[in-house]
Amino acid sequence: MNMFYSIAVLIISLTTVTKISSENLSGIYVIDSCECNSPTEKCEPNGPFILDHQRSSFAVRYGSVQVGVGTLANNRLDLYLNQNRCKGLWNEKSRIAELKCQHKDDVVCSTKLRCVSGSCVDHRSAIVSSATITTTISLLSIISSLVMLIY
């Protein structure tokens, strides 16, 4: 009977690890479209932009120059790109980041960045932080110990 409860706790804990994981956005992106509310404002270069995703944060490079940094949480993007504040959403199905960027003089540009290569095109790619794994394993150990003590 003790073995049954330990196995049940293990399965529940592993399910929790799977739900905590998030998508890996690392890859190469190009601008699909960009429109600004000012005729004088030009959109950024079309790319390719290289996004390096580490846990919940990422860096954006254009060639060898870093042009941005940001975070991802619940498919919401928050980043600085070419000294402009951008916010938007990551669309898992279309593999497109839809951003609204605040430029100088209250100019707003709507930009769509499309993933063309890398982990960002793999629907199954996922990253899990080591802190999450450590926390889950610690909780699993505590719960397993409690179950064994009770039974």
> What is the domain-level CATH number for residue 91?
2.40.128
Number of domains in the chain: 1
pTM for this entry? 0.64
Strand partners, 68: 60, 81
How far, in Å, CA of 40 to CA of 104, rounded? 12
Cα radius of gyration (the chain): 21
What pLDDT score was predicted for residue 122?
A: 75
pLDDT above 90 for 146: no
When the pLDDT of each residue in the chain is averaged and rounded to a whole number, the result is 75
- Find the mean pLDDT for residues 135-150: 50
- Are residues 60 and 47 in contact, defined by beta-carbon separation less than 8 angstroms? no
What pLDDT, in 10s, does the model give residues 66-97?
999 999 998 999 999 888 999 999 998 899 99
Domain range enclosing 77: 21-39+47-127
Q: Quick check: is 78 in a domain?
A: yes
